[in-house]
Amino acid sequence: MKTAVYLVFLDTFTSFMSRRLLLLIACLCLFLPIHAQNETFTLSGFLKDAQNGEALIGANVYVQGNTALGATTNLYGFYSLSLPKGDYQIAFSYIGYATQVQTISLNKDIRQNIELSDNTKALDEVVITDERKDENVKSTTMGKEELSIDRIKSIPALMGEVDIIKALQLMPGVQAAGEGNSGIYVRGGGPDQNLVLLDDAIVYNTGHLFGFFSVFNADAVKNTTLYKGAMPANYGGRLSSVIDIQMKEGNNKRFEMEGGIGIISSRLTIMAPFKKSKSKKTAKGSFLFSGRRTYLFDIIQPLLKKTDFAGTNYFFYDINLKANYQFSDKDRLYVSGYFGRDVFVYNSTKNQTNVKIPWGNATATVRYNHLFNDKLFMNATFVFNDYNFSFSGKQLDFSFRAKSGVRDFNTKIDLDYYLNSKHNLKFGMVYTHHRMTPTQASATSGTTDFESNINRRYSHELAWYASDEFKVNEKLKLDFGFRLSMFQHIGPYGKISGDNIAGFDTVFYKRGKPIKTYFGPEPRFAMRYAFGKNNSIKAGIALNYQYIHLVSSSNSTLPTDVWVQSSAIVKPQMALQYSVGYFRNFKEDMFETSIEVYFKHLWNQIEYGESYVGELNIDPELGYVFGKGKAYGAEFFIKKRTGKLNGWIGYTISRSDRKFKDLNEGKVFVAKYDRTHDLSINIAYNINKEWSVGATFVYATGNAITPANTLSLIEFNPMIGYSERNSYRVPAYHRMDLSLTYTPIPKRRPNRRWHSSYNFSIYNVYNRKNTYFIYNKIEGSTLTGDLKQTPINVSLFPVIPSFTWNFKF
Amino acid sequence: MQLYRHKIWTSIFCLFLVSLSLFLFTACEKEIDLNIKSNPNEIIVEGHIENGLPPYVILTKSISLYDNININNLENYFVHGANIIVSNGIDSVQLVEYNSSILQTLPDSVVDAVAAQFGIVVDSSGDFPDVSIYTVPFTAPDFIGEIGKTYQLRIEANGQILTSSTTIPAPVFFDSLWILPHPNPAFADSFFQVYGWLQDPPQLGNYYRYFTKVDNGPLLVSTQTVFDDNFFNGKKFEIFIPKGKPFGTNSSDINFDTDGYWDIADSVCTIKLCQIDKAHYDFWRTLEANRANIGNPFGSFVLVKSNIIGGKGVWGGYGSITGSYVRVP
């Protein structure tokens, strides 16, 4: 019955695909019943950090005593609140900052820019307060997780490398891709189903060194938000989640420097204002520069110098840059960029071999904010991003080169229209031009050249969206959204058709010529019903389309994995998610609790065929197989927000399975993203102003793997047969980490600007030997008669202590 | 072949990163007890037909992964009493099962070809391990593979019926063969390399498999035995020809410095280059990937793509040409 309902629902939308639909949506958004009110005025402005002028994202502005009358700042710190004429006590509050309350007589439109002070500085006692006290109960958003950078920094980290993505793994519904891995699986979806944005630029590969470290340098990051439920209509293009990361803007008040030295890398971040006018405390603009580099292998270079491997090295680095300038109270420009590379060099004089493999991301974002009036805010964005993997090797007169990557140009317009205190509209459009480079190889052997001729692929991706956050009354809040996406594979593209019996033929499409077009109507709906003092029920439904895919044959994501776009063969992935949750706060919002249940249908999921072997010059899409999936689960969350002891416990019970005609003989199998149980506990305890400790414990059901089970001999060498797909579970994963942070307060000059802090952390405290992979060790041979296979469990990280020194100036 | 060394490099890269992580994080290995259900006793076909040679089929059973199998305990491994018919569309022949004791009575060329299936040479003593093989009866010695023909296979064994079909494509051989010393001077005194000029036919869709042989030794294969012309269709190019390894060589015993290089004592370097059809090629390609992924943490499993309907294994035609480089010491 349920199946029938959503099929009808889907059908309606797909058959409705036309301008009519757009019109309907526009009408829905613009002509929803709007209650006429006598004389309303608008209070609007920007919320900023008092210390450095950073915009505060997602801060709350609300009428004291009536939280239903409130607004939230957008990504640029702008808020707009329309209220009937009158006198109000308006509260301005933000994560980790002291709340300000101002009395405002609203008898005309008022522009009020507010600067909030960091709690830790404003108050004598170290208290971490996250978000608006009852935010989790009062917002419509479900499956949204926000973590402040300060809180992330208090989590014990592998080798002392603070990692935003690994912090998100501690949230319910979010699973780590593997031991020490910064890849994530959200609610049973694959790693390519997460939209990772850094200042609006898509980051295609989020990991360094096999994903052991994420590419995000925490020192350069201001804010991280994860949406895993019904994502707002302004996001799209991925099925499972959005991880929206905003870089710091710089400091428009004074020069600031921070950094750290750890066991594998060092970091330095500089923030400063542009030239200040003498009369003002605040400059019109500021900039940030942040860099990080590893040096483990640089240290051993002298040792390698005299060996055959001189010059062999591995390192990675990240550079973040950002600048902003305020032209007027209504116009502001942001320019930001990221550049990161992993570089591997292998030299062997003995074999006269030389290999160089660099890979990494580059992004550049230009954003222009304009305030048309007190109610209409616009942001125009232009983004360039690029992910590149290249390989070059040379041995004697033979050389080999290969490369792959993605390059996008993206532009979008987002408009926030704060219609009145009941309606907050958002609409906009986004266009992306993709260029996908599959693995292209070329080789030179002596005087002969070889070139693979797999074509680059080009496409347009376009989406329009509109949403309305509608506060019906104090109890009921509705969030309607609709996104219409379009994807078009375009020329130039040449395709070989036929086979070696009928003969081959090449079809060629000219530049810009449409080859295949897809449309995706994506309705989104969320609601909240509040009752009692601190209770609410929320529900959401969302349909998402995904047009570009990463199909990986291995369990972790590798730099060689290639993003592919939809085509005539590869159809867009699709997901429909329903979720319901109950939220409740206790003890004056000291404790937050929630239970969320979700059910997700997945269509056009992609995997490699069971006999797939990658080959140069053969389009990998010919090796794909397609199927559908289901993911469902329940997430339990309890968080203590305040006090010296704070932290959370998240537990998820879930299942994610797939059914492919061409895999596992057509039978249902559990996805590799499936974890039955997943428990995360994170605790921070601030002993006093100088000392604090942190602890993390995680437990998860072991990965599902496909074990080998039979042996036969062909030419007296083994041929291995396998059990049913993902039919074996490796032992459960669990681990505990601890950290101790000492931030001395200088006794003589407690107010001096130089601050040092020392972090000592231990990863995997009780040295749990978690399974990294299992392989069959083969000894002996069939000829000598002593062939023996033994399954071996390999575990990676033993107990690892690390030490990091951080400073701030 | 040299073109495929990039795969070795990719492996070096993976090996490096793995060893880097293992070095950094001092990975720990320990034996575990996997309690895995297995369903052995599937019929595995290894059958071939080649220009100028009669068809032969080896029928075996799969065994549980951790069972021991080797050349000394083969008796229960072979499938006996099968009814096998090979047909070229006009003529057909029923194959006869031979065990090691009567194999010696067969013509030398057949014995050599059979021996090659087991990677051994039958010397004058005629000692054969305890194997079983199906081939043409003495009454039909003229049923031999012909270039361009398609051969059907039908097997009835243990109550199951298995069928397949393969072709013998027109063969191609190197224009010339030559040798070079080992690139590493440290090994140049004891090893050398063999190269050939190969002209790939103009039509896309050529699939190659090659064997090597030293003097009067057995025909052997290297780790990577097949390649196609996707990357070099219609081109003429030089190609490195690695020396084959004895059958049953454990991949962990491979010495990367000398693997594929020919020994200075090798005098007649013989290469058999075969053209095979796509389904036959897919079998070897997936089998080689299946073997390469044993124990590779980053590669996922690969199921071998068989061209046998109703069973596993291969029925493959070879269109072969054999040539030698004779080295004057």
Strand partners, B92: B87
Nearest by Cα to B41 from B138, B132, B158, B156 = B158
Give the model confidence (pLDDT) of A466-524 as tens digits.
999 998 888 899 999 999 999 999 988 877 654 444 445 677 888 989 999 999 999 99
Who contacts A711 (Cβ-Cβ below 8 Å, separation ≥6)?
A: A718, A719, A720, A721, A789, B62, B63, B64, B65, B67, B69
Alpha helices in B236-311 (DSSP H): 278-292
Cβ separation A611–B302 shorter than 8 A: yes
pLDDT value at residue A12: 41
Contacts of A610 in chain B (CB under 8 A): 301-303
DSSP per residue, A130-177: -SSTTHHHHSS--SEEEEEHHHHHTS--GGG---HHHHHTTSTTEEES
- Chain A residues closer than 8 Å to B301 by CB: 610, 706, 708, 720, 722
Suggest the residue from A712, A730, A769 to mutate for an interface test with chain B (most B CBs closer than 10 A).
A712
Q: Which amino acid is at B4?
A: Y
**Type of residue found at B230:** N
Rounded to an integer, the average pLDDT of B114-121 is 67
Contact B70 A785 (CB under 8 A): yes
User: Any idea which fold A137-245 has?
Assistant: Ferric Hydroxamate Uptake Protein; Chain A, domain 1 (2.170.130)
Which residue reads 């500085």 in tokens?
A121
B88: left (phi over 0), alpha (psi -120 to 50) or beta: alpha
- Identify the domain containing residue B108 by its residue range: 43-167
Domain check: are B298 and B175 in the same one? yes
Please indicate whether, in this complex, the C-beta atoms of B291 and A717 are within 8 angstroms of each other.
yes
Q: Which of B167, B188, B222 is the last residue of a domain?
A: B167
Residue closest to A734 by CA, chosen among A707, A764, A699, A763 = A699
Which pLDDT belongs to residue A25?
43
Per-domain boundaries in chain A: 2-125, 137-245, 246-808
Which CATH number goes with the domain that contains B148? 2.60.40
B90 within some domain: yes
In a domain? residue B16: no
Number of C-beta neighbours around residue A282 at 10 A: 16
CB contact at 8 A, A238 and A191: no
Q: Which residues of B touch A783 (CB under 8 A)?
A: 70-71, 119, 246-248
Neighbours of A441 (CB within 10 A): 20
Inter-chain CB proximity B186 and A350 less than 8 Å: yes
Domain at A2-125: CATH architecture: Sandwich (2.60)
Q: How far apart, in Å, are the Cα atoms of A174 and each of A52, A636, A656, B312? A: 33, 12, 13, 41
Q: Which residue has the tokens 């002596």?
A: A446
Mutate to test the interface with A, among B133, B302, B306, B307 (most CBs of A within 10 A): B302
Model confidence pLDDT, tens digit, residues B149-194: 999 999 999 899 999 999 999 999 999 999 988 877 888 889 999 9
Plot region of A547 (φ>0 → left; ψ -120 to 50 → alpha; else → beta):
alpha
Alpha-carbon radius of gyration of chain A = 27
Closest residue to B232, CB basis, from A450, A775, A788: A450
One domain for residues B96 and B197: no
Residues of chain B in contact with residue A611, where contact means CB-CB under 8 angstroms, are: 282, 286, 302-305
| Whole-number Å distance between alpha carbons of A194 and B36 | 34
Contacts of A314 in chain B (CB under 8 A): 16-17, 20
Q: Does residue B95 belong to any structural domain of this protein? A: yes
Say whether both B47 and B143 belong to one domain: yes
For residues B86 and A135, which has the higher predicted lDDT (pLDDT)?
B86
Count Cβ atoms below 10 Å from residue B158 Cβ, excluding itself.
13
Give a yes or no: residue B33 inside a domain: no
Largest CA distance in chain B: 67
- Given an 8 Å threshold on Cβ–Cβ distance, is B237 in contact with A788? no
Task: Mutation target for B interface from A208, A445, A663, A725: give the one with most B CBs within 10 A.
Answer: A445
Burial of A20 (0-12, 13-18, 19+ CB in 10 A): exposed
A792–B238 CB contact, under 8 Å? no
Name the DSSP class of B67.
S
Are B163 and B199 in the same domain? no
Give CA–CA dist B55/B46, Å, rounded: 11
Q: How far apart are the C-alpha atoms of A393 and A354, rounded to whole Å? A: 6
The pLDDT, as a whole number, for residue A361 is 93
Q: Are residues B180 and B315 in the same domain?
A: yes
> CA of B291, closest CA in chain A: separation in Å?
7
Structure tokens at A72: 């939230």
A588: closest CA among A637, A636, A645, A641?
A641
Is B38 domain-assigned? no
Q: What is the DSSP string of B71-109?
A: TTS-TTTBPPS-EEEEE-SS-EEEEEEEEHHHHTTS-HH
Tally the domains of chain B. Answer: 2
The Cβ of residue B233 has, within 10 Å, a number of other Cβ atoms equal to 18
Q: Which residues contact A639 (CB under 8 A, 6 or more apart)?
A: A591, A592, A593, A646, A647, A648, A649
- The pLDDT, as a whole number, for residue A145 is 77
Q: Are A221 and A197 in contact (CB under 8 A)?
A: no
- Is residue B202 in a domain? yes
Question: Which site among B199, B200, B304 would you substitute to test the A interface, given the most A Cβ atoms closer than 10 Å to its Cβ?
Answer: B304
Mean pLDDT of B231-246: 86
Name the average pLDDT for chain B: 82
Q: Report the C-alpha gap between A220 and A753 in whole angstroms.
A: 19
A260, A805 in Cβ contact below 8 A? yes
Q: How far apart are CA A670 and CA A728, in angstroms?
A: 10
Asked if the Cβ–Cβ distance from B65 to A555 is below 8 Å, we say: no
Answer yes or no: do B200 and B123 share one domain: no
Q: Give the separation between CA A441 and CA A451, rounded to whole angstroms.
A: 6
CA distance B56 to B109: 12
Helices (runs of H) and strands (runs of E) counted in chain A: 8, 51
Distances (CA, A) of B150 to B91, B210, B278, B280, B309: 11, 21, 13, 13, 16
Ranges of residues in chain A whose predicted pLDDT is under 50: 1-37, 121-132, 498-503
**Within 10 A of B262 (CB to CB), how many other CB atoms are there?**
21
CB A333 within 8 A of CB A325: yes
Asked if residue B20 belongs to a domain, the reply is no
Locate the chain B residue with the closest alpha carbon to A779.
Answer: B250
pLDDT in tens, B248-284: 676 666 677 788 899 999 999 999 999 999 999 999 9
Domain boundary among B167, B200, B226: B167
What pLDDT is stored for residue A67 in this prediction? 66
pLDDT in tens, B296-313: 555 578 899 999 999 999
Distance (Å, whole) CA A247 – CA A320: 8
Give CA–CA dist A386/A306, Å, rounded.
38
Residue A91: the pLDDT is 87
Of B36, B230, B239, the CB nearest to A617: B230
CB count in 10 Å sphere of residue B259 = 16
Bridge partners for A285 per DSSP: A325
Rounded Cα distance between B136 and B92, Å, is 10
Nearest CB neighbour to B5, from listed A314, A352, A395: A395
Query: Between B24, B70, B282, which is nearest A787 by CB?
Result: B70
Closest C-alpha to B285, from B270, B299, B303: B303
Given B167, B189, B207, the domain boundary residue is B167
Query: ipTM of the assembly?
Result: 0.88
Same-domain pairing of B159 and B181: no
Across the interface, whether the CB atoms of A708 and B294 are under 8 A apart is answered yes
- Separation between Cα atoms, residue A362 and residue B14, nearest integer Å: 24
Cβ within 8 Å of residue B108, ≥6 positions away: none
Rounded Cα distance, A618 and B204, in Å = 12
Same domain, B246 and B129: no
Q: Are residues B200 and B145 part of one domain?
A: no
Q: Does any domain span residue B11?
A: no
Which among B3, B10, B65, B318 is the top mutation candidate for probing chain A, defined by the most A β-carbons within 10 Å of its own β-carbon? B65
Residue A712 to residue B66, Cβ atoms within 8 A: no
Q: Locate A270 and state its tokens.
A: 């500089």
Do B153 and B191 belong together in one domain? no
C-alpha distance from residue B246 to each of A221, B115, B220 (Å):
58, 13, 6
**Cβ–Cβ under 8 Å, residues A416 and A74:** yes
Name the residue of chain A whose CA is nearest to B297's CA.
A773
C-beta atoms of A450 and B17 within 8 A: no
The answer on B178 and B163 residing in a single domain is: no
- Give CA–CA dist A63/A44, Å, rounded: 13
Measured torsion, CA atoms of residues B129, B132, B133, B139, in degrees rounded to the nearest 10: 110
Strands A493-499 and A184-186 turn out to be unpaired
Q: Indicate the residue type of B136.
A: V
Count of CB contacts below 8 A, A vs B?
Answer: 281
| CATH no. for A246-808 | 2.40.170.20
Q: Rounded CA gap, B2 and B148, in Å?
A: 29
Across the interface, whether the CB atoms of B70 and A717 are under 8 A apart is answered no
Backbone angles phi, psi at B82, to 5 degrees: -80, 155
CA distance B42 to B60: 8
Same domain, B50 and B92: yes
Q: With contact defined as beta carbons under 8 Å apart, do B284 and B236 qualify?
A: no
Element (H, E) at B115: helix B108-117
